[in-house]
């Protein structure tokens, strides 16, 4: 039982704490912070890739019968990747239609912090081209979408901890994954809070709703954990699904956004730094 509460606490810090911190940062929003967010996303992508490749997948392949696990792992990774890709496609369709800022010459990934947080929508409302109430509704839709998105991310944390039932606080892979998901949740929290604040909601309530959108991460963590402890095969499936989900987050979200937000070599360097950091933490 103590292990369960430890997982809940750690996941709450990553989910509720990460998105809530994003909401607090949104209250002090600076338009010139693209480069900082780009480096943050790149570093988180590197660490996340290290945990997936050197920890989660390694464990999945070495659990029970390693030779028989290869195809099961490949299928699990594919399913996790596709499900998160479809979920993110739905989120993009739901939240990007309000202000037409994407055309055939524009990348379908946010290339500025304003687009990532939908602050460009606020400019349209402020100039009278869109009703202000629509921006508030966009913030609520974004909160619901992020909440749903956080369930499979929580499963990653739960699956990571399912390997060491009695050593939750010494499971480096699980702790690192919780940390990088928390970092990943900061821009997501900003994306929820900015339209809420700009739509007229006071900052305290905006931060509260933003933090609550991270709560489903806890549900996902419990699901991933309990699936993982059923049997060695279930653990392989759980770890593989979690790996696929995170690989989409890295290559479908974090890296495209970070590179577009700062077209420089430094985001690539931060990815390598994140990889090395994750590798050192896992094996030292």
Question: What pTM, to 2 d.p., does this model score?
Answer: 0.80
User: Is the pLDDT at 217 greater than 90, yes or no?
Assistant: yes
List the single range of 17-21, 149-153, 239-243 with lowest mean pLDDT: 149-153
Question: Per residue in 11-56, pLDDT tens?
Answer: 999 999 999 998 888 887 655 577 888 888 899 899 989 989 988 8
CA distances from 255 to 83, 107, 128, 182, 184 (A): 19, 13, 34, 17, 11
Q: Do residues 187 and 37 lie in contact, with contact meaning Cβ atoms separated by under 8 Å?
A: yes
Pair of tokens at residue 266: 């430094």
Question: Per residue in 101-143, pLDDT tens?
Answer: 556 666 666 667 667 666 666 666 556 555 555 566 767 777 8
Query: Exposed e or buried b for every residue in 44-81, given b needs 16+ CB within 10 A?
Result: bbbbbbbbbebbbbebbbebeeeeebeebbeebbeebb
């Amino acid at each position: 039982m103590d292990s369960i509460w430890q997982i809940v606490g750690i996941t709450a810090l990553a989910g509720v704490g990460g998105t809530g911190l994003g909401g607090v940062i949104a209250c002090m929003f600076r338009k010139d912070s693209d480069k900082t967010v780009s480096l943050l996303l790149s570093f988180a992508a590197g660490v996340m890739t290290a945990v997936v490749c050197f920890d989660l997948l390694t464990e999945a392949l070495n659990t029970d019968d390693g030779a028989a696990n290869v195809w099961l792992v490949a299928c699990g990774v594919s399913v996790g990747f596709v499900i998160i890709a479809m979920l993110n496609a739905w989120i993009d369709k739901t939240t990007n239609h309000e202000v037409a800022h994407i055309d055939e010459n524009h990348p379908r990934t946010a290339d500025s912090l304003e687009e990532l947080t939908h602050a460009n929508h606020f400019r349209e409302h402020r100039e009278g081209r869109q009703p202000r109430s629509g921006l508030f509704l966009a913030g609520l839709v974004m909160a619901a979408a992020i909440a749903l998105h956080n369930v499979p991310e929580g499963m990653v944390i739960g699956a990571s901890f399912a390997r060491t039932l009695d050593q939750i606080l010494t499971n480096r892979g699980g702790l690192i994954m919780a940390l990088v998901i928390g970092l990943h949740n900061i821009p997501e929290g900003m994306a929820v809070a900015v339209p809420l604040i700009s739509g007229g909601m006071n900052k305290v309530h905006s931060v509260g709703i933003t933090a609550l959108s991270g709560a489903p991460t806890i549900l996902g963590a419990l699901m991933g954990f309990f699936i993982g402890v059923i049997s060695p095969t279930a653990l392989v499936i759980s770890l593989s699904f979690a790996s696929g989900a995170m690989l989409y987050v890295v290559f479908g979200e974090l890296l495209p956004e970070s590179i577009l937000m700062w077209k420089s070599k430094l985001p690539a360097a931060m990815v390598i730094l994140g990889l090395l950091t994750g590798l050192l933490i896992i094996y030292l």
